[in-house]
């Protein structure tokens, strides 16, 4: 694990690789499909960002759409929203928050910080509101919202274990 790797970036990389594997899609085929969606990307750049787990949640949604991957039921309406991919991420945030009406975006951001989010509460709240989350942040958000939406691609208990690992390390 390099200095830039965190449990969250490693899990983000794993989730994308699982989506690609389940859809039997390689990077060349993925890039062809992404191009049809209007996404301009190079194979090397995308492969590098995926291997480091440093991709935006919007790019993850593009990958899911481009590969015709199974979309979590709770996310289906958000995935069809007009606008940008960030608008769709925002729709997913809203769908997940709707399950917990007493949890505000600020509450979610505070919880995310406790399990390893690297940004300030103000910045995380802005990312939640605007839909500009990274995939690691989206995974953290799903954990603090007790969501199993990505269970087809990663076991929820693995996400919880990452949160617990960070919380334990932060206390020491």
Q: Summarize the confidence of residues 30-51 as an average pLDDT.
A: 93
Q: Which residue has the tokens 């593009």?
A: 62
**Structure confidence at residue 138 (pLDDT):** 98
Least confident range of 2-6, 50-54, 63-67: 2-6
Write out the residue range of the structural domain in which residue 105 sits: 7-171
Span 55-61, average pLDDT: 97
The answer as to whether 122 is a domain residue is yes
The per-residue pLDDT of the chain, averaged, comes to 93
> Does 1 reside within a domain?
no
Residue 172 has pLDDT above 50, yes or no: no
Q: Per-residue pLDDT tens for 104-161?
A: 999 999 999 999 999 999 999 999 999 999 999 999 999 999 999 999 999 999 999 9
Domain membership flag for residue 52: yes
pLDDT interval class at 169 (50, 70, 90): low
Count of the separate structural domains present in the chain = 1
């Amino acid at each position: 694990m390099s200095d830039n790797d965190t449990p969250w970036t490693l899990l983000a990389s794993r989730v994308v690789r699982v989506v690609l594997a389940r859809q039997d899609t390689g990077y060349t085929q993925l890039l062809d499909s992404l191009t049809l969606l209007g996404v301009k990307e190079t194979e090397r750049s995308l492969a590098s960002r995926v291997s480091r787990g440093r991709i935006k949640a919007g790019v993850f949604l593009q990958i899911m759409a481009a590969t015709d991957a199974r979309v979590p039921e709770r996310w289906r309406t958000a995935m069809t929203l007009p606008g940008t991919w960030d608008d769709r991420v925002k729709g997913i945030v809203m769908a997940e928050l709707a399950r917990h009406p007493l949890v505000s975006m600020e509450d979610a951001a505070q919880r995310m910080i406790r399990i390893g989010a690297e940004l300030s509460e103000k910045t995380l709240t802005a990312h939640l509101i605007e839909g500009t989350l990274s995939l690691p942040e989206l995974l953290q958000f799903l954990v603090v919202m007790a969501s199993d939406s990505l269970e087809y691609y990663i076991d929820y208990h693995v996400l919880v274990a990452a949160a617990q690992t960070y919380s334990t390390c932060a206390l020491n």
